[in-house]
Amino acid sequence: MDGLGRKKSNITGFIIAGGKSERFGRDKRKLLISGKTLIDRTIGILEDILGRHPFVVGDNLGEFQIDPEFVIGDAQKDSGPLGGIVAALEKCETAWGLMLAVDLPDITVRDLESLVTAADESFDFISLSAGEKSEPLIALYHSRTAPFWRNQLNKAELMIAVGLKRLRCKSIFPDGGIKSLRNINEPDDIVAG
């Protein structure tokens, strides 16, 4: 197994997909991008990069055709992305959990390959970034940080960026440039792409 193959075998994919789409006005996970829903597209990208089906994390996934074996409920209701990240890390049986938001229409396999290539045991968190700010939902989280994030959740400290200040972090520029980091929060974001 080559170096990249070894790194991939040490990573489990997780799609953070439990959002309520309140700003979007309807379930954005069902939005069609190149003939696929956002949720199916994201599953496909993680399957392509890691060679196996990712887990999908959220409490409101019943209407999607996802094998229940790959569905994980949030660690705590109404706790934003952190509830999903904690649930994912507590399920993670590999060194790293690759967390990917469901609403990234421009993320590519090449972007994620650059992230996988950057996996380095001397860090706790490695993300794509186009500047000062890390992207917490396009990132590798080391599974050893699960207790740290659980503690943040228990203390209702839900801001991931605040927790990251206490960890060893690394950011890399996405292969596809800043466009790869675009997410969809409002209907105008579809046109903006």
Q: What strands lie across the sheet with 71-72, from one edge to the other?
A: 71-72, 55-57, 11-16, 96-101, 138-142, 125-128, 169-172
Tell me the C-alpha distance between 48 and 109, whole Å: 7
Mean pLDDT of 67-90: 95
pLDDT band, residue 22 (cuts 50/70/90): low
Q: Please state, rounded to an integer, the average pLDDT across all residues of the chain.
A: 89
Q: What is the pLDDT of residues 150-179, one digit of tens each?
A: 999 999 999 999 999 999 999 999 888 888
Domains of the chain: 3-178 (3.90.550.10)
Of all residues in the chain, what percent carry a pLDDT higher than 90?
A: 65
Give the DSSP letter of residue 98: E
pLDDT exceeds 70 at position 122: yes
pLDDT exceeds 80 at position 190: no
Q: Which of 71-80, 91-100, 103-112, 130-139 has the highest mean pLDDT?
A: 91-100
Q: Which of 18-22, 90-94, 131-135 has the highest mean pLDDT?
A: 90-94
pLDDT exceeds 80 at position 30: no
26 CB-side CA count, 13 A: 5
Low-confidence winner among 26-35, 57-66, 131-140, 182-191 (lowest mean pLDDT): 182-191
